[in-house]
Structure 1
Amino acid sequence: MAIGLSGGRAAADEEARAEVDVLNSRLEKTTQLTKKIQACLGRLEETGKSVRDVAGPLNGETKKLQVLGNSGPPRSRPGRKNIESVIAAIERLRQPADSKNDEERIIRMGPDKAGLSNYLASIKRLNKALGDMKASNLRSTKQTVDELQRLVKSGNTQLENAFDKLLRIETPRDIEPLHFITKNKPFPTLSQELNTRLGVINEYVSGVHRRQGGSGESPIAKIYAELRSQRLSASLVNLAAASSNTAKKKNPDAIYRAGTNGIGTYAQAMEGLFLAEYENICSIFTRDDWGPVFQATCQPALLELGRTLRELNNHIKAHMNTDCYLAYEIVEIISGLSNNLEARTGELKSSFAGFLRPVRDTAKSSLAELLEDTKRRANALQVIPADGAPLPIVSETMQRLQSMVDFLRPISSIMVSLGDGGWRSTVASARGGGGDAIPSLSSFDIGADGKEIFAHYCADTIDALMAALENRARALLQQRKPVMGVFLANSVAIIERMVRDSELAPLLESRRGPLLDTWRKKAASLYTDTCKDISVHLFDVIHTSRGRPTSGGQNTIDSSAILKGLSSKDKENIKTKFAAFNLAFDEMVMRHRQYSMEREVRQAFAKDVQNMIEPLYNRFWDRYHEVDKGKGKYVKYDKSAIAAVFLTLY
């Protein structure tokens, strides 16, 4: 019995000793964990953390671990796993604090000394550490988070400064565009090596800007646009000033000639500089940023272009008669510049259209204004030359049309936008204040032929000029129809010659004949009106037919026989008719020679007069030349003599 009791006590002691061993093992592990926690607390204190802020939570965690360690059966596994996961988390939280000093050293060195790739790698590690610590959401990490945020912000700022410095060094204040234009050399771009470095910096900073939800353009884009836009503006400012200065002519009344203004060189330089800048932007920025950065970079230079175009437009409007052609040239040049840049970059078209619109409107309105000015000047004439000489307004009007042909491409586009006859509605709108009216459908006629519409405009101008000249001639010359005829015929001759000898010829080929023939016939009718008065003296009571009398090499009429059949009164009447004819004919010949006629006009009128008078005179002479028996007292001209006179009229 005693042995049984002794054996039971021994077994109980053995079990107690086993439990003590288990407890000692757990206590040892707890002691080791406590030492690790104490080491972690020491490192956290080195980074500036408050012992109170750190020790409290960690002590609480330790108590939880002790409770967890003391709970459960001896060989329970979940408690151990929880402990190990907490240890791992603490290790992860410790790493940023351990590496902060190393990263801070790199950040303070800057990208130049540390090397761009090494610097970017460091700042990326800081960002990752910062993200991890923010995700832990532990109050004890707040100071470390603040420190990391300060380092990241400093690093980003230094990267922006590095971008600015690199770009500023490689960006001269300005360049001389004429050097590249005259030598036909490509405009300079940034080196590929520099673009690569700038692109790396932009990729990182822009990415941070987007991740942080930043609105608008990134800091790098702002830096680029500011620096490069200054260079563009400085490079183009002299050409902008030259465009304004060359609009001022030494002779204000001289008609503007194509290419004499600096706007063409200005646009050529702008295109070269803008395309070179776009190439840089495409190498540095991402595709989504190409358009906005390009727009921002070009904006100051575009504003200067807009100011220059406004100045030129004001000059054109003040000198419309002589400088409207500059408006046509500007429309063509700036439209071409806009199309070229839009084709290469897909940008700036709306900006150019806005700046060009006032000049285009002036160009469109000039067509109606020139037409009205032609009418106004003709209606204001106070004197028509007594000899029928042409007036300068005719050649000046035709010179306008000839000059327009030099700008046929832009004028054709303007004509299409106006529509056929649109210059008339433009005048009506201007007079009625309807300048903002909605354009008619003809303004958008895709199939319209601008050259054909321009030809119609030229015909309208010529017809309006001739109509106004005729009205003034009738008012000023009263009943002097021959002078009116000479004046109108001279005008027609000058118009026809200036059309025929210029680029207007192919444009007006189908219109010139019918238009000028109408006025030529009207002029001939006025001039030959005096022939009617002369012809009256060549009719007699015996002649009853108004058909052309026969005359030729064989005289079949016996003048003596006819005279024998006349009474003395009739013979005296014949003598009076010859005398009156001689007087009127001689006066007509004298005036014909005194009139100032263009060569083709003199020949045409001489032929008209001869065709009207000579057949009648020859018939009258055949019948009655024996009335003075060859003495020449009444019959001054025989048929050959009067024919010779007509020849002198040509």
Structure 2
Amino acid sequence: MAVQRRGPLAEEAAEVEVLYANLEKLKSLSKKIQGSMSRLEVSGRTVQDAIGPVYGNTQRLQVMNTNVDRVLEAIERAREPLDMTKREERILRSRPERIGLADYMSSIDRTNQALRELKSTNLRSNQQAISELSSLLSVGTQSLEDVFRELCRRDSQPIEPLGYIMKGSEFPRLAQQKTAQLRTINAQIYNYTSQMSPGELTPSAKVYAQERGQYVTLSLSNLAQASLSTARKVAGQDGNAIYKQGSNGAGSYASGMQGMYTAEYDNICQIFSREEWGQVLSNTCQSSLAVFGNTLRDLDAHIKSNLITDCYLAYEIIEVVSNTSFRLEERTGELKHAMSEALRPVRETAKSSLAILLSDIRSRIQQLSSLPIDGSAVPITSEVMQRLQTMTSYLPPLTSIMRSLGDGGWSAPNNSTSTSSIPTVKSFDVGADGKQLFSHYSNDTIETLLSNLESRAKSMLRGKSVQGVFLANNIALIERMIRSSELQPLLGSSEKLATWRKKSSQLYTDAWGEISKLLLDVINTKNSRPPSMGQGVNSADVLKALNSKEKDAIKEKFRSFNVSFDELVAKHKSYKMEPEVRRMLGREVQMYIEPLYGRFWERYHEVDKGKGKYVKYDKGQLSSILASLS
């Protein structure tokens, strides 16, 4: 048992010994490693002490190298515009046609971008490059302007507007392809000039306004000349002839302007930006508007020299120009003010014409050396009414200037330009009824005519009867010309004319008033008053109650009546009366004389016992004669 136990223990002891032996080896190895680590640490410290300064220098060199690279890069960037300038200069100093318009504008874009970048650096060293690029950009832009000008000029040969007006055709516009090219070039120039001179008209817009403005002016020149030539009085022409509506070329001139301005506006809208439209159009039309203003001033001088006959030309010009300016304003939003300013002289002359026409009536009547002894109407009456008839064809412009004058504002004897433009309270009544204003002016014209004719008749015609006939004839002519024209709905039944008609009738019947006194019965017998008029009146019985002296007085009345009546009838028949005047005055006399004579005859016709020595006419005969007066 002891031997068996000792066997396993011996094995375990042997293993323990082996482990102890290994442990000793490990300890020895650890000591060696520790010694090596100590030596390595000493060596590392020695290396660190030696390499540390070298490593620091290396880091500084790396930073310096980085900075040098950055400087070199900045130098390269600074040199790049200079190198780019040489490249772009070769392009921009060539013609765009050679390079190609697209490539040429791309070069301008690159140059413009480079210029912006240089300006943003604010480096003094870049000033020379900035100057060179700016100069180069100006060269390129000028070349684009030249191309723009040439494109505009190719389709700017003057045209004859009258042909388009007569045919009712649209005025020519630039082709779509052309406007596309011009739009591209303008956009390029606009991008450059917008930073160089903001708020001003771009060079391309100036070029367009110049080239197309000259085209418009030359195209309209014939119409301007035609307006003046058709206004002049030609040799052999009746200098007193009233201007005939539409005979002057001003209407065609205005139509031509509207057509050409509208066409240019459509072109401008296709080429320029929205904010440029109005300014470019105004500049394009500036030259032709100046010619238009000069033409209207020349026409105004002609109108002033022939105001009585050609004031209607002023009214026509006001109408056509005003309508044209309103249509252009509606279409383009421009030019209304410019055209109104050009129209101002003609408008002021038209305003003054209303008072001058009234003054002309007064002066012409006062200059009459004689009046018709037969009481017929004078030519000035028909001439004045013809004026009013003609004016109805110009109601829109006339009512416009009448509103500006105010109701009755035409009555001033000297309505000059210097005062007519001064506003009055009445002139602000823009809502006034234009037709009513014209009616008032027409009534004032007729009143001026008749009052002056009446005054002249009283001083030049002897006898109220012929004065009455004279007035009645002129009134009849006035009423006839009103009824037969557009004056009828405007004037209608004039109370003033009715008053004048009554006055003329009164003047005429006053001459018959003398013989009416012969027919008035104021004789009474001693025994009784003579019976009044009635069915039972017996002339013989009436006469029996009269003494011889009273009978002689009756005989004298009959005799005087016969003489005066025959003279008045003869005068009546000798007067030249308008048919309506003869009817009116004939009825007035008949209604006035016939009842008086009938009463007188019934009471006293037996005074000559039917012999006809004193009683020349019985009631029937006198009634027939009076009826024949109508």
TM-score, length basis structure 1: 0.84
Alignment of 1:289-300 (within 5 A): 289-300=276-287
C-alpha deviation, 1:134, in angstroms: 5.2
Aligned 8 A contact 2:355 2:415 in 1: no
Which of residues 307, 319, 322 in structure 2 aligns to 1:335? 322
Match of 1:26 in 2: none
Match of 1:118 in 2: 103
Which of residues 368, 377, 393 in structure 1 aligns to 2:355? 368
Which of residues 567, 588, 591 in structure 2 aligns to 1:611? 591
Q: Which amino acid aligns with 1:525?
A: Q
Which of residues 428, 431, 434 in structure 2 aligns to 1:444? 428
Post-superposition CA distance 1:423-477 (Å, at most 9, x none): 12x43665xx972673212101132111101101111111111111111111122
Aligned 8 A contact 2:92 2:108 in 1: yes
The answer to whether structure 1 residue 595 and structure 2 residue 575 are counterparts is yes
Alignment of 1:466-545 (within 5 A): 466-478=450-462, 480-509=463-492, 512=494, 514-542=495-523
Larger radius of gyration: 2
C-alpha deviation, 1:93, in angstroms: 3.1
Give secondary structure in 1 for the equivalent of 2:419. Answer: coil
Post-superposition CA distance 1:460-500 (Å, at most 9, x none): 1111111111111111225x111111111111111111111
Match of 1:625 in 2: 605
Query: Partners in 2 of 1:595 and 1:436 — Cα distance?
Result: 46
Q: Which amino acid aligns with 1:427?
A: P
C-alpha deviation, 1:179, in angstroms: 1.7
Residues 437 and 270 (structure 1), Cα distance of their counterparts in 2 relative to 1, 3 Å cut: closer
The answer to whether structure 1 residue 411 and structure 2 residue 392 are counterparts is no
Match of 2:165 in 1: 181
Residues 359 and 547 (structure 1), Cα distance of their counterparts in 2 relative to 1, 3 Å cut: farther
Query: Partners in 1 of 2:280 and 2:70 — Cα distance?
Result: 49
The answer to whether structure 1 residue 387 and structure 2 residue 370 are counterparts is no
Which of residues 146, 150, 159 in structure 2 aligns to 1:161? 146
CA RMSD in angstroms comes to 3.0
Query: Partners in 1 of 2:66 and 2:321 — Cα distance?
Result: 76
Aligned 8 A contact 1:548 1:615 in 2: no
Post-superposition CA distance 1:17-69 (Å, at most 9, x none): 9689x69xxxxxxxxxxxxxxxxxxxxxxxxxxxxxxxxxxxxxxxxxxxxxx
Aligned 8 A contact 1:368 1:423 in 2: yes
Post-superposition CA distance 1:595-619 (Å, at most 9, x none): 1111111111111111111111111
C-alpha deviation, 1:127, in angstroms: 2.5
Residues 133 and 634 (structure 1), Cα distance of their counterparts in 2 relative to 1, 3 Å cut: closer
Query: Partners in 2 of 1:543 and 1:283 — Cα distance?
Result: 106
Q: Which amino acid aligns with 2:278?
A: G
Aligned 8 A contact 2:348 2:421 in 1: no
Aligned 8 A contact 1:126 1:152 in 2: yes
The answer to whether structure 1 residue 459 and structure 2 residue 448 are counterparts is no
Aligned 8 A contact 2:531 2:537 in 1: no
Post-superposition CA distance 1:82-120 (Å, at most 9, x none): 233223323323434444444333324422122222111
Residues 113 and 632 (structure 1), Cα distance of their counterparts in 2 relative to 1, 3 Å cut: same
C-alpha deviation, 1:386, in angstroms: 1.4
Query: Partners in 2 of 1:72 and 1:592 — Cα distance?
Result: 145
Give secondary structure in 1 for the equivalent of 2:449. Answer: helix
The answer to whether structure 1 residue 103 and structure 2 residue 83 are counterparts is no
Match of 2:21 in 1: none
Give secondary structure in 1 for the equivalent of 2:373. Answer: coil
The answer to whether structure 1 residue 427 and structure 2 residue 408 are counterparts is no
Query: Partners in 1 of 2:504 and 2:248 — Cα distance?
Result: 42
Give secondary structure in 2 for the equivalent of 1:383. Answer: coil
Residues 78 and 490 (structure 1), Cα distance of their counterparts in 2 relative to 1, 3 Å cut: same
Percent of pairs with identical residues: 48
Residues 534 and 109 (structure 1), Cα distance of their counterparts in 2 relative to 1, 3 Å cut: same
Match of 1:643 in 2: 623
Alignment of 1:5-24 (within 5 A): none
Give secondary structure in 2 for the equivalent of 1:438. Answer: coil
Q: Which amino acid aligns with 1:516?
A: L
**Structure 1 unaligned runs (5+)?**
1-5, 24-70
Q: Which amino acid aligns with 2:488?
A: A
**Structure 2 unaligned runs (5+)?**
1-38
Residues 74 and 447 (structure 1), Cα distance of their counterparts in 2 relative to 1, 3 Å cut: closer
Post-superposition CA distance 1:223-267 (Å, at most 9, x none): 111111110010000000111111124322110121111100000
Query: Partners in 2 of 1:378 and 1:86 — Cα distance?
Result: 104
Match of 1:246 in 2: 230
Match of 2:5 in 1: none
Which of residues 534, 542, 563 in structure 2 aligns to 1:583? 563
Query: Partners in 1 of 2:373 and 2:607 — Cα distance?
Result: 39
Query: Partners in 2 of 1:622 and 1:144 — Cα distance?
Result: 130
Aligned 8 A contact 1:549 1:616 in 2: no
Residues 8 and 455 (structure 1), Cα distance of their counterparts in 2 relative to 1, 3 Å cut: closer
Post-superposition CA distance 1:314-354 (Å, at most 9, x none): 11111111111111111111111111111111111221111
Query: Partners in 2 of 1:292 and 1:603 — Cα distance?
Result: 70
